[in-house]
Structure 1
């Protein structure tokens, strides 16, 4: 398995590299098909954030599955320990899910209600001001995995566009993928409606779903 360690606003010490490499057997024991793990260490220079000055982000690619975890602490070693604990928990969940599918069993659905957000009416949505420089970011065709970045005028805003290829999935599957990568939202194509959709975390055990469509399609149904 390839191990890539990078630092942001900090230098990677050899001792940290040694600790990371020594604990990678926890990953390969659960996910022997893992091809690559990226370890990103970020230092926060604000003294008022000393208790969380070191943030470790872990990203594992195992087959078609990407699993993430991150944690912050006063030092990089404890941050890494917390992050890899989260990562191994998510790896186990992914492994158990694959086993259930091979046995022909349905995995237990998340014990949550998923409220569907109402689609706003076109007349209720204010039309954005045209921004030709922003449109440049999506003007060209991209291949799978390719990305483009464009700065908006003289502002510090940079728009990054990347094409990701994914199979349509159910809302339950999208929630599961969101939990694996540790995000508060997940973009997917709903296989029930074939619409671009986003699941997101609201509060507690409550989630929401946004589905996007055009007025022409909605009016024609």
Structure 2
């Protein structure tokens, strides 16, 4: 498995490269079909250098495999690496267990025409309050009596190609990238949708009424 390491605001030492190679062997052991591991280390300093942290982002790719991502933040980049590798391995392990469970207990999601309920998968439609909050852009405000120390907000923007898939596949992809939500186009309805984590092992799904169009149709 090839390994690529990139540092942003920090140099990559030979010692760090050696540790990454050792960790990549562990990842390759549980994901033998993986072909490349991208490691991005970002160092940030706040308040004139009085606060520092290192973020390690891991991206695992392979032919015929979904992308697996994990991220961790700590004051020490070696600790961040350990945490990120643990997350990545746990996501791969959980994905394997779900595939085994799917083979032993086949599931097929379907909607009840009369009630509109989603059955066959542990996904629940979003509540009315959630839908209204998304539609209106309402954000809860938390008051604090004590004046909080100023912390700069880092906003990261990412763009991805739209993918058509089932709700069940979207849940699996969300687990692999380690996020609390996953954006996709519902292949059943062609509606832009998002699945998200609820309490326990439950998931929720929010769909927009607007139909999505393939990229080829938009260009033409």
Normalising by structure 2, we get a TM-score of 0.66
Please, which of 149, 172, 177 is the counterpart of residue 173 of structure 2?
A: 177
User: Can you list the C-alpha shifts for 1:91-127, whole angstroms capped at 9, x where unaligned?
Assistant: 11222334445x45437x999652335567xxx879x
In 2, are the aligned partners of 1:168 and 1:194 still within 8 Å (CA)? no
Q: Given the superposition, is the C-alpha separation of residues 8 and 66 from structure 1 closer, same or farther in structure 2, using an over 3 Å criterion?
A: same
Taking the aligned partners of 2:90 and 2:156, their CA distance within structure 1 comes to 35
Give me the whole-angstrom Cα distance separating, in 1, the residues matched to 2:101 and 2:44: 41
Contact 2:95 2:175 in 1 (8 A): no
Cα distance in 2 between the residues matched to 1:4 and 1:210 = 36
User: Bigger CA drift: 62-71 or 192-201?
Assistant: 192-201
Cα displacement string for residues 144-200 of structure 1 (whole angstroms, at most 9, x for unaligned residues): xxxxxxxxxxxxx99875424x34212x43223212212232112224433221123
1:114 has 2:111 as partner: no
Q: Secondary structure at the match of 1:64?
A: coil
Match of 1:168 in 2: 165
Structure 1, residues 49-94: CA drift from partner, whole Å, max 9, x if none? 43xx111111111333111111111211111111101111111122
Q: Distance in 2 between matches of 1:158 and 1:94?
A: 27
Structure 2, gaps ≥5 residues long: 110-119, 138-154, 212-220
CA RMSD in angstroms, aligned pairs only? 3.4
Which residue of structure 1 aligns with residue 44 of structure 2? 44
The TM-score, its normalising length taken from structure 1, stands at: 0.66
Structure 1: gaps of 5 or more residues: 127-156, 216-221
Distance between the aligned counterparts of 1:158 and 1:33, measured in 2? 30
Separation in structure 1 between the aligned mates of residue 38 and residue 4 of structure 2, nearest angstrom: 5
Deviations 1:114-142 (A, max 9, x none): 2335567xxx879xxxxxxxxxxxxxxxx
Partner of 1:212: 208
Distance in 1 separating the partners of 2:157 and 2:26: 37
Q: Does 1:35 align with 2:35?
A: yes
